[in-house]
């Protein structure tokens, strides 16, 4: 396989853990709010409220906070206290500035690719401000020739980015943990899609197996293993 | 003056009113919360809380909601009710989906520039998801060859964008209502900066007069008047 002309990496749960921080915040808040409802009820209603607000709030920690606040107000018929809501804000703020710990082999793999002169892109969806902050905190900024933060990663998004950079789909590779956002749309366009799964996958990013049938993509257990498909 | 090779327009309060919607939501909420504190106290504390959270929350309606909630919790020592906080969320949601009404001459000016074949860019700072939604609601999407949504509009931002599009500062023009974000950084880089003031300017975007001394920029009372500096 020829070396791609542009290699893009997803950020959250590909280069650094992100979902575990959200899962932890959620679990802590559900414990705190357990006198109002059990964790199952809270979790189910939280996801429903998130889905109904998704078109307004988008992804990320601010959306998480607002959704959690609205869920609790609803489940308590407005009797939740300001003090409890402040705890939601405090947990949410921690989601906006937790220290970024790189996943195994990240720097080694980026260093190897940079050494070979392949242009690298960070391509992540989410909240612009938050994602820029995470990249800055990661210390990885200098590895990337391009940074694209988008609101959705679907076929139209990838098509727009490839046009902008003048790259053909077959010369483009995408590495990420999300089948929905990193793998399927890229594979469908004819790009090289490499799935590096992460143990914690957000429910919204899960893909039913039948949607994967016949879609050509690579599977790697780690970024180091992914390297074999990139050079 | 030669026609610029790239003309960028700010969005909020340049192409459509935005600040008045925030001012209205703020006024409504201050009235609602008047049994806790008067509007002056609320307004002052709100801006302080916003400034201290700015590095985490950034700009936009979600930041507005979270800041308003935190302000009220603090001013009431946690006794604010969930029902009142829901009203903050309801006002905030309206800030995320109000109908976009174009300011005078917007379509006429964009049409004229498109007719002359000058590449046009929408260049706005704020929340990615929210700004994309406003552009979609405005119906202006097709006028713009490029859309850049950034977290700050300072000299470094403009330098990065000009490099990306291969345009020299002197061939670049920026039109906007904010002296801080649209005019000063562009003028300092040697670009053509055109200030089209808007009656409502957010306190954070205000610039002391001494910082403007000796900075060359154009002033236009309307987008139609700005056209004279662009073609």
pLDDT, residue A3, reads 84
pLDDT of residue A6: 97
| CA A156/CA A189 separation, integer angstroms | 10
Q: How confident is the model at residue A209 (pLDDT cuts 50, 70, 90)?
A: confident
Same domain membership, residue A162 and residue A59: no
Residues B121 and B192 placed together within one structural domain of the fold: yes
A64 pLDDT band, cuts 50/70/90, is very high
**Is B10 contained in some domain?**
yes
For residue B77, the chain A residues in CB contact (below 8 A) are 82
**Which of A49, A67, A95 is a domain's end point?**
A95
pLDDT digit string (tens) for A66-89? 999 999 999 999 999 999 999 999
Put simply, the answer to whether B81 touches A76 (Cβ < 8 Å) is no
What is the C-alpha separation between A192 and A221, in angstroms, rounded? 16
Q: What percent of chain A has pLDDT over 90?
A: 86
CB contact under 8 A, B69 and A72: no
Q: Residue B7's beta-bridge partner residues?
A: B120, B173
Q: What angle do helix axes A19-32 and A39-57 make, rounded to 10 degrees?
A: 130
Query: Within 13 Å of residue B94, how many CA atoms lie on the same side as its CB?
Result: 14
Give the pLDDT score at A133. Answer: 94
Contact B69/A at CB under 8 A: yes
For chain B of 231 residues, list the mean pLDDT of each consecutive stretch of 10: 90 96 94 91 94 92 96 94 95 96 96 95 94 96 95 95 94 96 96 92 74 87 94 87
Task: Please tell me the predicted confidence (pLDDT) of residue B1.
Answer: 65
Interface test with A, best of B32, B37, B56, B136 (most A CBs within 10 A): B56
A150 to chain B nearest CA, in Å?
Answer: 7
> DSSP assignment, residue A6?
E
**A10 and A48: one domain?**
no
The verdict on residue A156 lying in a domain is yes
Q: Are residues B140 and B181 in the same domain?
A: yes
- For A29, phi then psi, to 5°, come to -70, -35
- The verdict on B97 touching A (C-beta cutoff 8 Å) is yes
The pair of three-digit structure tokens given for residue A196, joined into one six-digit string:
């590096």
In a shared domain, residues B30 and B90: yes
Inter-chain touch A72–B56, beta carbons under 8 Å? no
pLDDT of residue A1: 64
CATH of the domain at A114: 3.40.50.1000
Q: A70 and A137: one domain? A: no
Are residues A11 and A177 in contact, defined by beta-carbon separation less than 8 angstroms? no
Residue A78 to residue B82, Cβ atoms within 8 A: yes
Instruction: Output the six-digit token pair for B121.
Output: 């860019």
CB contact under 8 A, A129 and B72: no
User: Domain check: are A126 and A203 in the same one?
Assistant: yes
Q: With an 8 Å Cβ cutoff, is B1 touching chain A?
A: no
- Per the structure, the count of domains in chain B is 2
Considering B44, B76, B97, which residue would you say is the last residue of a domain? B97
B54 Cα to chain A: minimum distance (Å): 10
Residue A96: list chain B partners with CB under 8 A: 56-57
Closest residue to A128, CB basis, from B73, B85, B151? B151
Helix (H, G, I), strand (E, B) or coil at B67: helix
Is the domain of B64 the same as that of B109?
no
The CATH number of the domain holding residue B44 is: 1.10.150.240
Give A42-59 pLDDT, tens digit per residue: 999 999 999 999 999 988
| Higher per-residue pLDDT: B5 or A204 | B5
pLDDT at res. A21: 96
Return the higher-pLDDT residue of B128 and A204. Answer: B128
Say whether A85 and B82 touch across the interface (CB within 8 A): yes
Identify whether residues A23 and A12 lie together within a single domain: no
CB contact at 8 A, B23 and B200: yes
pLDDT, position B209: 75
A69 to B89: CB separation less than 8 angstroms, yes or no: yes
Q: Which domain holds residue A109?
A: 6-16+101-229
Rounded distance, CA A46 to CA A67, Å? 7
Contacts of B58 in chain A (CB under 8 A): 127-130
Same domain, A76 and A147: no
Residues A207, A117, single domain; the answer is: yes
Q: Is residue A1 part of a domain?
A: no
Q: What is the mean pLDDT of residues A192-198?
A: 95
Domain assignment present for residue A43? The answer is yes
On whether residue A47 sits in a domain, the answer given is: yes
**The pair of three-digit structure tokens given for residue B96, joined into one six-digit string:** 């995320």
The whole-number pLDDT of residue A158 equals 98
B118 with B218, same domain: the answer is: yes
Mark yes or no for CB contact B80/A82 under 8 Å: yes
Q: Which long-range contacts (CB under 8 A, 24 or more apart) does A17-21 make?
A: A17/A101, A17/A103, A17/A198, A17/A200, A18/A134, A19/A198, A19/A200, A19/A201, A19/A202, A20/A200, A21/A94, A21/A95, A21/A98
**A12-15 CB contacts, 8 Å cutoff, 24+ apart:** A12/A124, A12/A126, A12/A134, A13/A177, A13/A178, A13/A198, A13/A200, A13/A201, A14/A103, A14/A175, A14/A176, A14/A177, A14/A182, A14/A196, A14/A198, A14/A223, A15/A102, A15/A103, A15/A106, A15/A122, A15/A138, A15/A140
Q: Which residues 6+ apart lie within 8 Å of A66 measured at CB? A: A53, A57, B62, B65, B66, B89, B92
Cβ contact, residue pair B150, A127, below 8 Å = no
Contact B148, B122 (CB under 8 A): yes
Q: How far is A41 from chain B (nearest CA, A)?
A: 19
Q: What is the pLDDT of residue A9?
A: 98
Whether B1 maps to a domain, the answer reads no
In sequence order, the 6+-apart residues with CB closer than 8 A to the CB of B126 are B12, B58, B59, B60, B149
- In the listed set A95, A130, A154, which residue is the last one of a domain according to the structure? A95
Rounded Cα distance between B82 and A212, Å, is 44
Chain A residues with beta carbon closer than 8 angstroms to that of B129: 57-59, 127, 151
- ipTM for the complex? 0.88
Contacts of residue A165 in chain B, CB cutoff 8 Å?
none
- Which of A128, A133, A144, A160 to mutate to probe the B interface, most B CBs <10 Å? A128
Residue A98: is its pLDDT beyond 70?
yes
């Amino acid at each position: 396989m020829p070396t791609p002309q542009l290699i893009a990496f997803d950020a959250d749960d590909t280069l650094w853990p992100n979902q575990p921080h959200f899962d932890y915040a959620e679990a802590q808040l559900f414990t705190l709010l357990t006198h109002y409802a059990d964790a199952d009820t809270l979790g189910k209603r939280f996801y429903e409220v998130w889905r109904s607000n998704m078109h307004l709030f988008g992804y990320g920690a601010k959306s998480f906070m607002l959704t959690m606040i609205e869920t609790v107000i609803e489940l308590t018929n407005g009797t939740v206290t300001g003090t409890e809501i402040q705890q939601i804000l405090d947990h949410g703020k921690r989601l906006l500035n937790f220290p970024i710990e790189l996943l195994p082999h990240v720097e080694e793999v980026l260093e190897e690719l940079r050494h070979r002169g392949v242009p690298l892109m960070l391509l992540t969806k989410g909240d612009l401000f938050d994602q820029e902050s995470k990249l800055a905190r990661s210390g990885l900024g200098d590895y990337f020739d391009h940074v694209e933060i988008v609101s959705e990663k679907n076929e139209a998004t990838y098509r727009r980015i490839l046009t902008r950079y003048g790259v053909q789909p077959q010369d483009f590779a995408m590495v990420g943990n999300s089948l929905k956002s990193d793998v399927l749309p890229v594979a469908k366009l004819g790009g090289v899609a490499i799935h590096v799964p992460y143990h914690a996958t957000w429910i919204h990013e899960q893909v039913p197996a039948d949607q994967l049938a016949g879609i050509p993509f690579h599977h790697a257990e780690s970024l180091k293993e992914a390297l074999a498909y990139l050079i």
